[in-house]
Structure 1
Amino acid sequence: MLKKQEHLVELCNRLSAIDGRERLEEALQSTLQGLDLKWAMTRGGWHRLGGVVDGNYAPVSPNLTKWVDETAGGDLDELFFNYRDSGYFVTQLAGKSHYFTAPTGERPDQFVQIEIEELQEVIERPLIDRDWYPDNLEEFLDPLDYPRLEPEPVTPPFYRFRRIMEIDKLLEDQAESERNLGDLRRFFNDWGESSASEGDDFCRQWVLLLRDYQDAYGELRIHARPMTALHGGLPDLPDGERLTGASLANAIHGYDRLVGYPFAWFFHMLSSKSSNYAVAEAVLRDQMGAYDYLPARDLKVLRRWEERPYSV
């Protein structure tokens, strides 16, 4: 895996992001020929702290935090006095994350996920504004309430390798006691035991949003959250408080058709930020009555969730 990482870092440094995502996909497939690698989704709209440029957008420093520390020792009074007439600008890195996946086995958690960032340095704000003085260094570095400028590009977009992860190995290596990954293991297990597994591979429908953090003991951990790879808007879950019987059956099957695989409503319910458990409760009430519109394997999964609910 380390060798693959080195190749991918080199590839990202070599490729031009201007050539587009399709060219990136082709290059990845050529580099990793043993994998059935495909683009899954792109997540944009995020940014990171950038650096400092002068009035002509020539680079002063690629790292704002480091530059403030080196030039003024973190002293805001000194910084504002020395650079009040500099005409410098603060930049940020506007980002997109491209996700590529490849199945490596029969189980839903057996896949490789590659994350490539597409970044562009853009103008964010003037370094010094005479009408604004921050309360502390943290507010200066990343102010919440500050007039932003139009994000005019400073550099062309470029790629940066983020990570390659074997998801089944991630679940094996992380502690069993971690609730986040415990629920994720249930999510994968429920997929494998339900009719959802009869459709396309899990990794063609979902990716994992991975975030590094340190636990209370200083150990590096990874938080993982499933994120749908459905392109376009996700339909609303059926209204379990209003629908029942045949109308509810038609609604959940219609939802599955829109999303593209069986039992999709259940997995999107589990991953929803405002989980609409009413639809699951309504389906369960129907199954106790005269209705029988769920496959037996899906009903088994649903009843197990009823006994011990979880979400991801």
Structure 2
Amino acid sequence: MLTRRHIRIKVLQTIYAFDKAEIDELKKSEKFLVYSMEQMRDLHLVMLSLLVNLRDYGADQLEKRKKKHLVTQEDLNPNTAFIDNKVLLLLKENTALNTLVTERKLDFWKLDDEYISLLYKELMAADFYQEYMDNASSDFKTDKEFVIKLYKEIVAPNDKLYDYFEDKRLTWLDDYPVVNTGIVKLLNQMGPNPSDGKLTPPAFKNKEDLDFGVELFRKVVLHDEKYTKDIIGKTPNWDKDRIADLDMIMIKMGIAEFLHFPSIPVKVTINEYLEIAKEYSTPKSSIFINGILDKLVQQYRDDNSLNKIGRGLR
């Protein structure tokens, strides 16, 4: 689920907190890093659970209509296309999803059901909802297309839902766009008999990704003084206090990858931090970081300290 870029972002954020003394012990910081990375999976589970709760809310509304004082024929025989949606029912009946939501205490929507109500009202007002409900015969493909549209047009862009997650768990804000993209991809690939692994993937693709994040954090923190000297040596007209904190951390992370991660090509490292800088730092940061990393690569090549193995990695 987590990409290497997202792992790098989590490491960046943890080092920033460590440098600002928000977390003052290495082991505590490592635990926080792993926790923040694993939180992405929790958000994935919460968003799938939201779809299930949205479907259940719709079912409850139909039952309430049957109990009205002045009941109509439509109330007694309602259109059940939404609550019978095959994709939503698969999510609702998935044992692995239900177990994880319960075990990790992620069933927020029972208490915070006002957000479900808000999303349901938006859905009912959408043109594509009425078109779907008017479709007399829906197959799995039609049901799936509807759920994807529901997620992309109603759930993912909802500002109040975003604010809710900001209050609930701050670490989720950076995860939110990535998780939304992942869920849309999951829904697109979903078949009538999805495996548990498809619906509830682990936070990390493999143990190597988890180890990469922890080791990258350790290298930057433990070699901070050396990395700072290397950087200042490449910025003779700059005092280190003039370099933006995030830029300094990203350059140090690049150095750590140059010197301690032999299987990661130099170009990959540089490109990753340029892209992260564009999103998380100043408008000119990517140009500055690119220049410093290029100079450092040349230095490490000259003194044979660039630790890369395999053709094309240097």
The two structures have a TM-score, normalised by structure 2, of 0.30
Q: Which has the higher helix share?
A: 2
Q: Name the structure, 1 or 2, with higher relative contact order (CA <8 Å, separation 6+).
A: 2
The two structures have a TM-score, normalised by structure 1, of 0.30
Q: Which has the higher strand share?
A: 1
